[in-house]
Amino acid sequence: MAFDGFVTRALVHELSEKITNQKIHKIYQPHQTDLVFLIRGFQGNQQLLISANPTYPRIHLTTRNFINPAEPPMFCMLLRKHLEGGVIEQIRQVDHERIIEIDIKTRDELGDIHTKRLIVEIMGRHSNIILVNPDTNLIIDGITHVTPAISSYRQVYPGREYIAPPAQNKLNPLEVTQDQFFSVLQFNEGKIEKQLVQQFTGMGPSVAKEILVLAGLPTRENVWNSFSNWMDKIRQHDYLPTIIVSEEKTDFSVLPLTHMAGQMESFTSINVCLEQFYDQKAERDTIRQKVQDLSKLLSNEKHKNEKKIDNLLNDLEDAKKADQYRLFGELITAHLHQIKKGDQEANVINYYDENQNRLTIPLDPLKTPSENAQMYFKKYSKYKNSLDYIETQLVQTREEISYLETILTQLENASVEDIDDIREELVEQGYLRDRKRQNRKKKKDPEIEQFISTEGHPIFVGKNNRQNEYLTHRLASSSDTWLHTKDIPGSHVVIKSREFGEKTLLEAAMLAAYFSKAKHSSQVPVDYTRIKYVKKTNGAKPGFVIYENQKTVFVTPDEKLVETLRRKK
């Protein structure tokens, strides 16, 4: 990623203009590594996101809505104690590094004024957010603790002296002279791009390559002129933040990167640029992490149930031998006078066979003939009684597998909010332990995603079982049309209209196929019927229904059409 020293400089410059001398009203910690500051002042309400995410560390203003935990984490509580109500005095970059210091003037419980310093270190997987007392340079706390076992050079936990990350002994590119520039670069050795990165603070590979491309022929003077022109724009804060999307990767910079082939989008604000670049990436990363844990749990449960099916089918085969065990018992009883203890088998006439053929019955030589007969009668009784139980268990286990497959399918199309709903459902169904039951708040009705058919009719799609239940049994009217993939796990879809054309029906069916396990298939069967014919049976899993009077259409999922039909918020 291109969060280098130049981006940090541009960001600090813009944040200084937008939030300096403004008040920190609220502090939230929506995720383990992320903080959101609600800032109030003459520019209105603004949100500052600070993230020590090891994959996407960043800091920028954001307009995104976040879901906060019911109980704030300890670090969030500590920041509220020290910083809420404080005024942002100064924001600065440290030595052209990816380190930002934010000084905040606050009052303590006695009303005395103090300054606290929030240090944001954008250092990849070593990123951190640290609260420091600048008078003593002692750490109050950090979002990530670094113990002596992790680093012998610097530790991050309460009471330790704050030590900056190790110096890289590089030159500040904004302060270097032409003589210094020529002295540190070995033009005869080549790899000038790599040397630029190695010699100058905050210089990333993308910027180094751009400087060389703009230089043309890589002579000493050309490279210096290109380097100097780039640095002049940075010194003057003459930025044009740009996102570049190419086949190989997506990148961003404070100035256009002309050497990258791809689609470019420029912004007047580095904050807006960063939000657009990181927002979807960070959300996908968060979703992937949450989905990975739940998918592993559900896949393990599914595997256990599939194994249970195999065992039940073996038991069923044994149970079907019940009548044979009764026959063995009766024939042994009828031939007691011919059998003696110690015999390993009995060859007797089968009186129930019309041809009176002889039958060989295995015996336990340690049992008497009577005990062998009783053994077979007990087996008969056991397996006869177990037949109903096994068949019931087979039905329930198959339903369980179908339910787990449905949840796994829902995870493929889930947002962060959808995953939280699914997690809560798994808690209610006993798959997960509820760690927050005491703090659980009554949930609002779920928001159902709405699409608009090309004929103008609203189509609603449930993305999880909570949404499916609400959509089918509460939001929809009896005359609305309900759709679901035939015998395939998927979403409930409702056309919220009494009358509509065939095009709307096919588009709704396509949405049902797209949000199902058959998303990547063609000619997917989709059932449709009126809501009044859709019922939930007692004891059924969430989202499971039975329906009648259905008809079936066959459609192929089309992602482009899905985006066209999606209602813009």
Would you list the domain boundaries of the chain? 5-142, 178-268, 283-440, 444-565
More confident residue, 320 or 491: 491
Write down the pLDDT at residue 436.
Answer: 55
**What's the alpha-carbon Rg for the chain, to the nearest Å?**
35
279-288 per-residue burial string, b: 16 or more CB within 10 A, e: under 16: beebeeebbe
Report how far residue 512's alpha carbon sits from residue 446's, in angstroms, rounded to the nearest whole number.
19
CB-based contacts of 456, cutoff 8 Å, min separation 6: none
Write down the pLDDT at residue 441.
Answer: 54
* Average of per-residue pLDDT across 532-544: 88
Token readout for 20 is 């300096």
Count helices and strands in the chain by DSSP H and E runs: 13, 22
pLDDT band at 104 (very low <50, low <70, confident <90, very high): very high
C-beta neighbour count of 211 within 10 angstroms: 25
Write down the pLDDT at residue 106.
Answer: 93
Q: What digits encode the pLDDT tens for the residues 13-60?
A: 999 999 999 999 999 999 899 999 999 988 789 999 999 998 889 999
Instruction: Classify domain 5-142 at the CATH superfamily level.
Output: ibrinogen binding protein from staphylococcus aureus domain (2.30.310.10)
More confident residue, 218 or 88: 88
For the chain, give the percent of residues with pLDDT over 90: 62
> For 126-130, which contacts have Cβ atoms below 8 Å and span 24 or more sequence positions?
126/165, 127/33, 127/51, 127/52, 127/53, 127/54, 127/57, 128/52, 128/156, 129/35, 129/50, 129/52, 130/156, 130/162
CB-based contacts of 142, cutoff 8 Å, min separation 6: 75, 128, 129, 130, 131, 156, 157
Q: What digits encode the pLDDT tens for the residues 311-321?
A: 999 888 877 77
DSSP code, position 56? S
pLDDT band at 9 (very low <50, low <70, confident <90, very high): very high
Query: Residue 15, exposed/middle/buried by CB under 10 A (0-12, 13-18, 19+)?
Result: buried
Write down the pLDDT at residue 80.
Answer: 96
Report how far residue 325's alpha carbon sits from residue 499's, in angstroms, rounded to the nearest whole number.
62
pLDDT band at 287 (very low <50, low <70, confident <90, very high): confident
Query: Residue 354, exposed/middle/buried by CB under 10 A (0-12, 13-18, 19+)?
Result: exposed
Token readout for 356 is 């009176």
Q: What amino acid occupies position 147?
A: T
pLDDT band at 435 (very low <50, low <70, confident <90, very high): low
Closest CA to 481 of 507, 448, 443: 507
Q: What digits encode the pLDDT tens for the residues 440-453?
A: 555 678 889 999 99
Look over the chain and give the mean of its residue pLDDT values, rounded to a whole number.
Answer: 90
Please report the beta strands in 373-469, taking only residues with DSSP state E, as ranges in sequence order. Answer: 449-452, 458-461
For residues 25 and 39, the answer to whether their CB atoms sit within 8 Å is: yes
Write down the pLDDT at residue 438.
Answer: 45
SS (H, E, C) 312-359: HHHHHHHHCCHHHHHHHHHHHHHCHHHCCCCCCEEEEECCCCCCCCEE
